[in-house]
Structure 1
Amino acid sequence: MLDPLSSCVPGSWRHGDVEVLRSRVPQHGTTLNAMRSGRGLTVTHRLRPSDLSDLLATRVAAELDLSTPEDFEAVIVGLVRSTVSDPTRAWTLYYNNSLRELLAGTAPFARVHEYGADLVLGDSVVDLGSCFGFFALRLALAGHRVTATDICDGTMRLLSTVAAELGIPIDTRACDAARVPLPDDAADTVTAIHLLEHVDADLGAQIVAEAVRVARRRVVIAVPFEAEPTTCHGHVRTFDVDALHALGAATGHRYDVTEHHGGWLVLDL
């Protein structure tokens, strides 16, 4: 399992077949370079602490040819940890920079998060598939009582650690989004922001049913509209407006489908 908080040698990071090295040789800009040797992948860079933010995901997808989500995740973690070796300091910088960009509207996901936050009803929120948890943190900063969930235990421990450093109150649960260890009607709103494209249709339907079970008032689902799944991000299927209508109708609840930097399905219970 990938542990983003594990110790590492300053200036380097290794996980499995992926090695990330921060170059000590002066170079222009902060270009990322990748070299493959057999199964091994070595990425070199000259990033500065100020470069650490969620914008790295966009850069890595654009500049490096990574075919698997495992390589993509390991490279992102490696870039952060090889730039600043102390794990808590590294990730606190990453989260601070990312939240600043998201709240300022300069990050690619900013419009998605703004729109999703406006759809939330009530005080309490359960966020499914939170990943790094930026959307969950945004809601907590706005005064909501938030439980962030993700199947990856390491990511939830990371979110819990950094949230404590930032003084942002948030609960975290490592769990499958189709089997959430919470009672019925546990939160006013349940959100699943860019989660369903990572799972097949059957598991996606189970996740929607679980969201309906846990929510008292509303379920908010967001998906990207893509011609082909973005494999390096772990996407396995695509959505369009018709697919969201079918998903909403299958629940038997009132629903609305909209388009805003992707597709949105809102279920009112």
Structure 2
Amino acid sequence: MTTTGEIDPLGAAIGGVYRDAMVEVVAQHGLISRRELHMVRTPHFDLTSAGHRIALTHRLGGDEIDDDLAGLLAEELFQPGWLRGTELFERLFTGIVLSTDADPLIAWEGFYRNTLDRVGTTLSSAVPGSAHGTIADYAPVYAHAERQLVPGNVLELGSCFGFLALRLALAGRDVVASDVSPGTVALLAAVAPRLGIALTTRVADAGRVPAADRFADNVLAIHLLEHLDPDHGDRVVAEAIRLARRRVVVAVPLEDEADETWGHVRTVSLDDLAAWGRRTGLPHQVFRHHGGWLVIDVATA
């Protein structure tokens, strides 16, 4: 696959090689010679170049591919400074998943099943999760978001891969998952039926959702606002209140510095959350629990 624009998560890896305008990714089978110059070798990756592309070989099997892949990439390639940039991170991530099977839907279905299983295992076990921490970090955030919901349906803004939306739908909620990325939304819409989960997907900027006032009983913005500039964040909070019949739930990481590896462009503090709450004029709570939370009660019945 060769593209020059948006990442296509449903594009096939031809001959076991994912290729787009920026990266080339292949799964390692057998031993690889170290003839290449300027190679970086880590426990899971070999990094070099192929013309103008970053070339990555990985040593991960399909049963090892879940969302902790993000932690592996960050820990071994991005945090040490070998690579930099959110777009490059996302392209390599996509390429690794797609390189695990010739059928992109089979590759992504495995990724989703592994991730959802490991989220569940993390929440039901006292044993610490992966050392890379991606799933272990956000699983308790998902669980706490689920506990904040009132009865009724759910709209999630900025749903990304949609793991939380899938968990809620699997638990019997009527769920709409929305994200600004058409590719991510198309991926979720394609994989959910393969998982036996029914939900609705929409492509939408979280600050301007094409839906009626009081659209959903619960509106979620979970680890979204740190990806947006302050003005955009203000619009998202206002839009969430417009769309909610009963409750808005916002969660953010509490960081000293915005982590660009994850696409964060700002930090959000408890004071920032409290300021949003006060401006609404509505009953609200601000608290800390694996990050910061703002829960706004738009209506009580």
TM-score range, shorter chain: over 0.9
Aligned equivalents of 1:254 and 1:36: distance in 2?
55
SS in 2 for 1:228: coil
Tell me what 2:95 maps to: 78
Does the CA contact (< 8 Å) of 2:24 and 2:50 recur in 1? no
- Residues 250 and 181 of structure 1: is their aligned pair in 2 closer, same or farther, counting only changes over 3 Å? same
Does the CA contact (< 8 Å) of 1:30 and 1:47 recur in 2? no
Unaligned 5+ residue runs, structure 1?
none
**Is 2:84 the partner of 1:98?**
no
SS in 2 for 1:83: coil
Aligned equivalents of 1:176 and 1:39: distance in 2?
32
- Encode CA deviations 1:61-93: one digit per residue, 9 max, x unaligned: 111123211011101100100112211100000
Aligned equivalent of 1:136, options 165, 184, 199: 165
Aligned equivalents of 1:85 and 1:138: distance in 2?
27
User: What's the offset of the Cα at 1:23?
Assistant: 1.6
User: What's the offset of the Cα at 1:35?
Assistant: 2.6
Aligned equivalent of 1:46, options 39, 56, 59: 59
SS in 1 for 2:218: strand
User: What's the offset of the Cα at 1:38?
Assistant: 8.0
Aligned equivalents of 1:91 and 1:38: distance in 2?
28
Aligned equivalents of 1:223 and 1:31: distance in 2?
30
Aligned equivalents of 1:240 and 1:227: distance in 2?
9
Aligned equivalent of 1:218, options 241, 247, 256: 247
Aligned equivalents of 1:15 and 1:214: distance in 2?
38
SS in 2 for 1:79: helix
The one-letter amino acid paired with 2:158 is G
Aligned equivalents of 1:193 and 1:36: distance in 2?
36
SS in 2 for 1:219: strand
Tell me what 1:148 maps to: 177
Unaligned 5+ residue runs, structure 2?
1-5, 33-41, 123-128, 130-134
With the length of structure 2 as denominator, give the TM-score of the two structures: 0.86
**Is 2:223 the partner of 1:194?**
yes
Aligned equivalents of 1:194 and 1:72: distance in 2?
18
Aligned-pair identity (%): 45
Q: Structure 1 stretch 244-253 or stretch 172-181: which is displaced more?
A: 244-253
**Is 2:2 the partner of 1:2?**
no
User: What's the offset of the Cα at 1:17?
Assistant: 1.2
**Is 2:74 the partner of 1:61?**
yes
Q: Supply the RMSD in Å over aligned alpha carbons.
A: 1.7
The count of aligned residue pairs is 269
Q: Structure 1 stretch 11-20 or stretch 94-103: which is displaced more?
A: 11-20
Aligned equivalents of 2:76 and 2:171: distance in 1?
35
Does the CA contact (< 8 Å) of 1:241 and 1:263 recur in 2? yes
Bigger radius of gyration among the two: 2
Does the CA contact (< 8 Å) of 1:5 and 1:87 recur in 2? yes
Tell me what 2:18 maps to: 13
Please show how residues 94-133 of structure 1 align to structure 2 within 5 Å: 94-105=111-122, 106=129, 107-108=135-136, 109-133=138-162
